[in-house]
Amino acid sequence: MDIASLLEWLQETSLAVHIRDSLFAFPLIESTHVIGLTLVFGTIAIIDLRLLGLASTNRPFQRLAADTLKWTWVAFAVSALTGGLMFITNATVYYHNAYFRAKIALLALAALNMLVFEVTTRRSVAQWDRDASAPPLARVVAAASLVIWISVIVTGRMIGFTTTRATVAEPAPVEQNLEDLLGFPGESSPPAPAEESK
Amino acid sequence: MKQFALWLSTTSPSVYIQEHNSWTIPAIQSIHIVGIALVMGSVLMIDLRILGWAWVDQTLRQTTDRFGPWLTGALWLLLVTGILMVIGEPVRELVTLSFWLKMALVAIGAAVAIAFQRALRRHEQHWEDTLVHRRSIKSVAVMTFLIWICIIFLGRLIAYDHVWGSWSPSERQ
Q: Are A156 and A10 in contact (CB under 8 A)?
A: no
**A chain contacts of residue B19, beta-carbon cutoff 8 Å:** 191
The verdict on a CB contact (< 8 Å) between A193 and B21 is yes
Q: Average pLDDT of B78-97?
A: 95
Q: Would A70 be classed as within a structural domain?
A: yes
Q: Are A152 and A103 in contact (CB under 8 A)?
A: yes
CA distance A122 to A119: 7
Interface contact B137, partner A, CB < 8 A = no
CA distance A4 to B38: 39
Q: Would A179 be classed as within a structural domain?
A: no
Q: Would A186 be classed as within a structural domain?
A: no
pLDDT digits (tens, 9 = 90+) for A124-177: 999 999 999 999 999 999 999 999 999 999 999 999 999 865 444 444 454 444
Q: Would A108 be classed as within a structural domain?
A: yes
Interface contact B11, partner A, CB < 8 A = no
Count how many domains chain A has.
1
- For residue A179, pLDDT beyond 50: no
- B/e letters for A177-191, b = 16+ CB within 10 Å, e = fewer, are bbbeeeeeeeeeebe
Mean pLDDT of chain B: 94
Q: Would A188 be classed as within a structural domain?
A: no
The verdict on a CB contact (< 8 Å) between B44 and A42 is yes
Range from A19-33, A142-156, B95-109, B159-173 carrying the lowest mean pLDDT: B159-173
Q: Average pLDDT of B30-46?
A: 97
Residue A22: closest CA among chain B residues belongs to which residue? B163
Q: SS3 breakdown of chain A: % helix, strand, coil, rounded to 5? A: 75, 0, 25
Q: Would A193 be classed as within a structural domain?
A: no
Residues 32-61 of B with CB under 8 A from A: 33-34, 36-42, 44-45, 48, 54-55, 57-58
Domain ranges of chain B: 2-172
What pTM did the predictor assign?
0.88
The verdict on a CB contact (< 8 Å) between B41 and A182 is no
Which range marks the domain in which residue A52 is found? 3-167
